[in-house]
């Protein structure tokens, strides 16, 4: 586990190796960090998670011609300075407990 403090309004962007190892027709890796830097430099006021995820998602697909060879995940989270006003959520219905599944067999047996 790694703990990383985030300052107010700071965004953390995580990608899996399916993104960092996405290749184009010539076998070159997708330069996602460079694309994110370029997007932030173009509009430093919009560094929200939704935009950064879209930049990486769209860039990855464009780079590899929409032919992914691995699963990909792009995740971003932002620490807000203060909580926004959230609407009241309705009460959720009671959900019955799921039946207990047996433990898988031990491969050493």
- pLDDT per residue as tens digits for the range 72-104: 999 999 988 877 777 777 776 776 776 766 777
Percent of the chain beyond pLDDT 90?
54
pTM of the model as a whole: 0.70
The mean pLDDT of the chain is 87
At 90 the pLDDT is: 77
21-46 pLDDT, tens digit each: 999 999 999 999 999 999 999 998 88
Distance in angstroms between the alpha carbons of the first and the last residue of the chain: 32
Q: What is the pLDDT of residue 36?
A: 95
Six token digits for residue 6? 């985030």
Evaluate whether 48 touches 78 at the Cβ level (below 8 Å).
yes
Distance of CA 48 to the CA centre of its chain: 12
CA–CA separation, 19 and 1 (whole Å): 22
**How far is the C-alpha of 69 from the C-alpha of 64, rounded, in Å?**
9
């Amino acid at each position: 586990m790694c703990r990383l403090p985030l300052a107010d309004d700071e965004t953390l962007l995580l990608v899996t190796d399916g993104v960092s190892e996405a290749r184009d027709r010539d076998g070159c890796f997708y330069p996602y960090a460079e694309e994110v830097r370029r997007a932030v430099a173009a509009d430093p006021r919009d560094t929200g998670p939704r935009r950064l995820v879209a930049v990486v998602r769209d860039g990855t697909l464009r780079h590899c011609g929409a032919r992914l060879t691995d699963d990909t995940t792009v995740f971003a989270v932002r620490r807000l300075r203060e909580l926004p006003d959230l609407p009241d959520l309705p009460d959720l219905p009671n959900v019955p407990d799921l039946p207990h599944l047996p433990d898988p067999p031990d491969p050493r047996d």
